[in-house]
Amino acid sequence: MFQPTYPIRTARLTLRPVTTDDLDDVYAYQRRPDVMRWMLGGGPRTREQSRASVAAMAGEDALRAEGDCLTLAVVTGTGVIGTVELVWRSRADRTAELGYVFHPEHGGRGLATEAATALLDWGFDEFGLHRVYGRCHGRNEASARLMTRLGMRQEAHHVASYLFRGEWADQLVFAVLAREWRSRNRE
Ligand SMILES: CC(C)(COP(=O)(O)OP(=O)(O)OC[C@H]1O[C@@H](n2cnc3c(N)ncnc32)[C@H](O)[C@@H]1OP(=O)(O)O)[C@@H](O)C(=O)NCCC(=O)NCCS
């Protein structure tokens, strides 16, 4: 079983596993159409859907097997402002996929970048990943900018490659290797 030593602390944030007590904070952003706009799995959540989401995320506190998701609540003095996650895509290739969702009221201050950086630091330095990739809808500019800001390279622009809410959508793929992450951190 692999998990960070909790909590992870950064300059402005605390990262720790999600708990069922986080429902109000998570629902506050999952209910918003602007947050869910480019996400797979449907539109804005009802409170009951958020309850199920929080219950699922609360179990994602460690990577036990390939395919598992590690989800961390990102906490400030005001509560949970978002989540960052790593999905363990391949044990053999030491590869994971990055994900993130944040409340827009806390956007534009680099907090998602700060949280994702801490998770990637754990993924590369502690968990021993070789490669982390991220995918987003071709029109999800904030997500593409975040991955670029993290130092991820855009590797692909798949045209009309997946069905998103009944329409063919473009998908962008970004990635970073451990050696790139480490040299970036030394800059
Ligand atoms: C993707 C998402 C997390 C990005 O949020 P964000 O607020 O743009 O990201 P950050 O918190 O890192 O803030 C970065 C912004 O703050 C600015 N900023 C201010 N201070 C900063 C600092 N100290 N460090 C870095 N950036 C800083 C940056 O310039 C950037 O602004 P810009 O994108 O206009 O250039 C957010 O849009 C989101 O949750 N979207 C909905 C869910 C979603 O689509 N998830 C991804 C699915 S693929």
Q: Under CATH, which number does the domain 8-132 receive?
A: 3.40.630.30
pLDDT surpassing 70 at residue 186: no
CB within 8 A of 45, min separation 6: which ones? 27, 30, 31, 36, 53
Instruction: Please choose from 100, 154, 158 the residue to mutate so as to test ligand 1's pocket, defined by most ligand atoms within 8 A of CB.
Output: 100
Q: Provide the edge-to-edge strand list for the sheet that holds 167-177.
A: 8-9, 14-17, 69-76, 79-90, 95-102, 131-137, 167-177, 153-164
Report pLDDT digits (tens) over 22-39.
999 999 999 999 999 999
Kindly state if the Cβ of 108 falls inside 6 Å of ligand 1.
yes
**Predicted confidence band at 41 (pLDDT cuts at 50, 70, 90)?**
confident
**What digits encode the pLDDT tens for the residues 49-85?**
999 999 999 999 999 999 999 999 999 999 999 999 9
> What is the pTM assigned to this prediction?
0.97
> Mean pLDDT, the chain, as a whole number?
97
- Report the pLDDT value the prediction gives residue 107, as an integer from 0 to 100: 97
Q: What is the pLDDT of residue 118?
A: 98
Indicate whether residue 133 lines ligand 1 (CB < 6 A): no
Cβ of 150 below 6 Å from ligand 1? no
What is the model's pLDDT at position 185? 59
- Report CA-CA distances (Å) from 171 to 38, 40, 87, 88, 149: 11, 12, 18, 20, 18
Tokens 């990577």 sit on residue: 63
The span from the CA of 96 to the CA of 157, in Å, is 19
42 Ramachandran zone, left/alpha/beta (phi>0; psi -120 to 50): left
Residue with tokens 């996929």: 97
Q: How confident is the model at residue 126 (pLDDT cuts 50, 70, 90)?
A: very high
